[in-house]
Amino acid sequence: MKIAILFSAGRHAASGRPAPVPVELQAIRLARELIGQAAGDAAGDAAGDLSGDAPGVITGFHAGPDAGPLKDALGHGLSRLVQLSIGAQDDPLPSLAAALGAERFDLVLAGRSGQGGEDAGLLPYALARALGLPIVADACALAAGPQPGTLSLEQALPRGARRRLILRLPALITVHPAAPAPLPFAFAAMRRGMLETREGVPAPRAAGEVEERAYRARPKLIAKSAAGASATERLKAATEAASSGGRLLVDPSPEDAAREILAHLRQIGVLRH
Partner 1 sequence: MSRLRRDPRMERAAHRIAGTPRPRFDLAAASAATSAATSAAPGRLRRDPRGEERLALVPGTPRRRLDRTQRVALAPAGAVPAAAMAETAPRLVVIAEPAYLVAVVPDAPGGRLTPHDRQVIGAARLLADAGGGAVLALVEMPGEDLAAAGVDRVLGLPVAGYDPEAKAALLHAVLDGLDIRHALLPESADGADLARRLAALTGEALFAGAESLTAKAITRAAQGRRIEQRRAPPRLITLAADASAPHGGAPHEAIPVVFALPTLAPGAILSAEFVPADPASVGLDEADFVVSAGNGVHDFTAFRALVAALNATPGASRMVCDAGLMPRAAQVGASGTVLDARCYFALGIAGAPQHLQGVARCEHVVAVNTDLHAAMIERAGLAIVADAQKVMPALIDALTGAGAAEAQP
Q: Return the residues of window 130-189 that contact partner 1 according to CB under 8 A.
A: 134-138, 150, 154, 156-168, 171
| Least distance CB 48 / partner 1 (angstroms) | 28
| Least distance CB 4 / partner 1 (angstroms) | 17
- Number of residues in contact with partner 1 under rule CB under 8 A: 85
* Cβ 96 vs Cβ 84: under 8 Å: yes
What is the spatial distance between Cα 144 and Cα 91, in angstroms, rounded to a whole number? 34
Selected binder of partner 1 within 42, 52, 148, 243 (CB under 8 A): 243
Q: Which is nearer to partner 1, 47 or 97 (CB)?
A: 97
What is the spatial distance between Cα 134 and Cα 132, in angstroms, rounded to a whole number? 7
Cα separations in angstroms, 251 against 7, 21, 248, 258: 63, 57, 10, 12
End-to-end Cα, the chain, rounded Å: 43
Element (H, E) at 166: strand 162-168
Q: Which is nearer to partner 1, 188 or 214 (CB)?
A: 214
Would you give the binding string for partner 1 spanning residues 98-137, x where CB under 8 A is met?
-----------------xxxxxxxx-xxx-xx----xxxx
| Least distance CB 166 / partner 1 (angstroms) | 4
Q: Return the residues of window 191-220 that contact partner 1 according to CB under 8 A.
A: 208-216, 218, 220
What is the spatial distance between Cα 101 and Cα 267, in angstroms, rounded to a whole number? 52
Q: Which is nearer to partner 1, 53 or 209 (CB)?
A: 209
